[in-house]
Structure 1
Amino acid sequence: MERTRSAILTAAASVLARDRTATLPEIAKAAGVGRTTVHRYFPDRDTLIKAAVEDSVEVIGQAIAEAQVDEGTSVAALHRLVTAYLHVGDRLVFLFNDPHIMRGYGVEQPEEPLSTDPVLDLIVRGQQEGAFDGHVSPQWIQHVLWALVYTGIDEVNKGNMSRHGVAATVIRTLERGILA
């Protein structure tokens, strides 16, 4: 039962990341189940989307935790984080392609920034170690990281890059910029 629900939520995030107007039958097909099975778990599209949002937030949080960004050197931790982000790429695109999706489905973001954001903490640590550029804000580095990860996900989805090569390209571009 839980495996079916999880498959539906994973498929919903993946399908909706590519097409916000996707139907329940399209999501059911991607999950490998029938439409009636989807309705057994989620009575309507809005209920499914809300559950997919909540599940995606949890999955992304788990991926960050599993990347152990507070261990090892900041550069090694950044490499693990990029790999983790790419692993949950559809979830990231699903949540962050539409800035209103979380609010619109009742998943509120805190008004105050989190007292500890593990990614920002990693960036600050990297700046303090001298591994990351200290002349730009940690938020700037985080936004550049997200932009490169999103671009990598998009290139894989378009078939322009392999899933296996994208992490190295994102990391290389993040670390070296675009100069030869």
Structure 2
Amino acid sequence: MSNTPGRPLRADAERSVRAILAAAERVLAGTPGASMEQIAEAAGVTRTTVHRRFANRQALIDALAAEAAVKLAEAIEDGHPETAPPLVALHRATANVLRVKAAWGFALGPAAEQSERAARTHEDIARRCVELLGRIRAEGVIAPDADLEWVRRVFYALIGEALHGEGGAGPVDADPDTLAARIVDTLLHGVGPRASG
């Protein structure tokens, strides 16, 4: 959380860091070039407090990206991808991911992609996604010769489209469960006509 990994923070310091990260997400989502001073003001702390927790702006962005990646991993874990029926897990994880991505748009976007800590978490998320898709393939819902890494990439692209809409105009639909159903249906069945009977 702070830039001294491994050393636990006191409760007040932890609250301060959380307030700074929440403010950073809000401010940077609207103004990506915002200064540390603007973030401090939005967090209700002094600029000195922000600098005490984060050596520089990049350290703050790295921490923000790592925090958002953890939230994303928790959202997926809440879908129980290893133990729930695979289609149930996929739907639930998808709806949860949509919620997190909508709340952490800056931290999960291109501007925060350089964080090594976040990158490791995203690699683990991708691995777990492919494993879940493997469980779905084993049930015969995905073709046995499907390239699961490609399926994962298409899945991610559908989530991106659902969140950003045409030209980044915002969510296609505000309800994550409705969007999740649409994404999963498109991923698994495409857009061709359904077999009758």
2:187 to 170, 174, 179: 174
Matched-pair contact (CA < 8 Å) for 1:15–1:22: yes
Greater gyration radius: 2
Paired amino acid for 2:148 = P
Which 5+ residue runs of structure 1 have no aligned equivalent?
none
List runs of 5+ in structure 2 lacking aligned partners. 1-11
Match of 1:127 among 134, 137, 140: 137
Distance 1:153 1:5 in 2: 28
Deviation (angstroms), 1:166: 2.7
Whole-angstrom CA distance in 1 between matches of 2:143 and 2:22: 36
| 1:84-127 CA-partner distances (Å, limit 9, x unpaired) | 2112105476345358522xxx43856xx76x922111111111
CA distance in 1, matches of 2:180, 2:171: 15
Give yes or no for contact 2:20–2:39 (8 Å, CA) kept in 1. yes
Count matched residues.
173
d(CA) in 2 for partners of 1:160, 1:153:
7
Offset at 1:140?
Answer: 0.9
5 Å-filtered alignment, 1:1-180, equals 1=12, 2-13=14-25, 15-16=27-28, 20-28=32-40, 32-34=43-45, 36=47, 38-39=50-51, 41-89=53-101, 90-91=103-104, 94-95=107-108, 97=110, 100-102=113-115, 106-107=116-117, 109=119, 117-155=127-165, 158=170, 160-164=172-176, 165-180=178-193
State the TM-score, normalizing by the size of structure 1.
0.74
Amino acid at match of 1:158: G
Kindly tell me: are residues 16 and 120 of structure 1, through their superposed partners in 2, closer, same or farther at Cα, counting changes over 3 Å? Answer: farther
Aligned equivalents of 1:170, 1:125: Cα separation in 2: 18
Identity %: 26
C-alpha RMSD of the superposition = 3.3
TM-score, length basis structure 2: 0.69
What is the CA–CA distance in structure 2 between the aligned matches of 1:166 and 1:108, rounded to whole Å? 25
